[in-house]
Amino acid sequence: MTATDVLTGQLDLLTLLELQTLPTAPLHFTVGHYRPDELDAAYEYRAKSDGRMGVSNWSRQWNGNQTGRNVTAGSAHRTFTYGADLRCNEHWRNPDCQCMGDLLYRVYCHDCDWWGGIHENENQAVEDMLNHCWPGWQYRPVVTSAVKPNGGYKFNVPEDYPKEWQYPGAPVRTARTAMSGRHVPGRGPWGGYDVGVMEAGE
């Protein structure tokens, strides 16, 4: 390889770097109003240089990898749940770590172009969204459910369950036991959130 070839290769690389377009969303934690696709692009951009573990541990960026999306066809409110880890990198190996920071969550409604508040609990973030998108959800009857032999869930919805709450994307409230109270996106009988309600005494 000649000196000219090396120089040409360097110039080509510099040209590519100059032409590379940075994501719209910042490569760090933000409270700004960015769409999920913008946050995803920023997360993927940084993951290319830092790796998956690096971007999760150091960037503090919002990402939907550990949460979920509720995008049932026909739903009036397609939602995206995002998390950000603001804890230091000692939290998982040092139980006495006293650093500031926590896992944070927020939910975006695509159809309203609306972000909910930032919460330290995923269920709270989901309920914030439900209050905005599905007012009155907390007054719906609680139903029971069971795991089907071939996978999935069977919901025991009574005949008098409100018809106006039986359409694509609508949430359902299900009775749960301890340690199983997470609000699960897309698992409800109408493709909406399966909202966990702790049974009395739990």
For 47, 129, 148, 197, the CA distances from 52, given in Å and listed in that order, are 5, 28, 35, 34
- 30-50 pLDDT, tens per residue? 999 999 999 999 988 888 877
* pLDDT confidence bin for 98, thresholds 50/70/90: low
Cα–Cα distance measured from residue 111 to residue 78, given in angstroms and rounded to the nearest whole number:
6
Find the radius of gyration of the CA atoms of the chain. Answer: 22
Query: 195 and 146 in one domain?
Result: yes
Q: What phi and psi values does residue 67 have, to the nearest 5 degrees?
A: -115, -100
Mean pLDDT of 100-109: 88
What average pLDDT does the segment 2-7 reach? 46
81 and 155 fall within a common domain: no
- Of the listed ranges 3-12, 56-65, 86-95, 169-178, the least confidently predicted one is 3-12
pLDDT the model gives residue 113: 96
Residues 154, 147: Cα–Cα separation, whole Å: 6
144-202 pLDDT, tens digit per residue, is 999 998 888 999 999 999 999 999 999 999 999 888 899 999 999 999 999 999 876 55
On whether residue 30 sits in a domain, the answer given is yes
Cβ-based neighbour number of residue 64 at 10 Å: 16
Q: How far apart are CA 66 and CA 83, in angstroms?
A: 7
Q: d(Cα 7, Cα 13) in Å, to the nearest integer? A: 10
The pLDDT assigned to 4 comes to 46
Q: Measured between alpha carbons, how far is 64 from 89 in angstroms, rounded to an integer?
A: 20
With H, G, I as helix, E, B as strand and everything else as coil, classify residue 127. helix
Q: What is the pLDDT of residue 69?
A: 87
Which of 88, 116, 132 finishes a domain? Answer: 132
Percent of the chain with pLDDT strictly greater than 90: 57
The residue ranges of DSSP E strands in 24-90, in sequence order, are: 63-70, 79-85
> Sheet harboring 194-198: ordered strands across?
153-156, 142-147, 172-176, 194-198
Full domain range(s) for residue 162: 134-202
Which pLDDT score, from 0 to 100, does residue 151 have? 85
Task: Note whether 125 and 59 are same-domain residues.
Answer: yes
pLDDT of residue 6: 45
Residue 59 lies in a domain: yes
For residues 75 and 191, the answer to whether their CB atoms sit within 8 Å is yes
Q: Is the pLDDT of residue 103 over 60?
A: yes
- What's the mean per-residue pLDDT of the chain? 85
Structurally, the chain folds into a number of domains equal to 2
Q: Express each pLDDT in 119-139 by its tens digit.
A: 999 999 999 999 999 999 999
What residue type is assigned to position 50 of the chain?
A: D
Q: How many residues does the chain have?
A: 202
Picking from 99, 116, 132, the residue at the C-terminal end of a domain is 132
